[in-house]
Amino acid sequence: MSIKIFRLKDDFQIDISAKTVVKAAQANDDSIIVFHHEPTLTEAVRFRHHQSAYNAFVVCKGRFQFWNHQRGHTLGVGDFVFVPPGTVYGYKPLEPQSEFIILTTVHDIGGLGRVLRNDHGEELRLASGDQSGDVRYDIHFQETHLAPDIPKGLEMETNLPAISQPYFLRIANSTSWILGGIVSRPCVTTA
């Protein structure tokens, strides 16, 4: 298993190091890719899901509204979201310069980057190495998905559900799971 890390750029350009990461990730089916992402306050909420990729999000600065399946929460620094394959999710930053880390098992890194770059697919198609235009991404937009209400004061889970279930963990009441769950759980995709 390999872990690849790169920062998503705000200017929608892929630099040389990111292109190298894309090619390396595509060559290795056991890759886990780590993104650092800073969405802007003006980005529209876009709901999507992956057929085969597991995703984990950890807020490292600011606050977000995050929708995971049929639930929504307001997340702060250290809060965690797990999104298994087939689960519809979306997010919106609530403060300027909010950022999070994404761990994903998606095999087509260009596909995930495409979503995070507001569907600017041309430069990512080039980065994925396919010039034919017949690129299939494991990302499916849910244009008609309605965001559920985000209840105030609702606590998140304090223990880990089955790997096939989406969940939220709040750093303040889930500290015992940080190293044993949050860090290792996204890495466990088959058992």
Q: What is the structure's pLDDT at 45? A: 85
Rounded Cα gap, residues 167 and 159, in angstroms? 10
What is the pTM assigned to this prediction?
A: 0.61
- Residues of the chain falling short of pLDDT 50: 1-22, 25, 28, 30, 114-116, 118-136, 154, 175-191
Q: Give the β-pairing of 89-93 and 64-68.
A: antiparallel
Q: What is the structure's pLDDT at 185? A: 46
Burial class of 176 by CB neighbour count within 10 A (0 to 12, 13 to 18, 19+): exposed
Rounded Cα gap, residues 157 and 159, in angstroms? 6
Quick one: 3-187 is in which CATH superfamily?
Jelly Rolls (2.60.120.10)
Q: What is the structure's pLDDT at 91? A: 92
Q: What is the structure's pLDDT at 7? A: 47
Q: What is the structure's pLDDT at 106? A: 61
Q: What is the structure's pLDDT at 21? A: 45
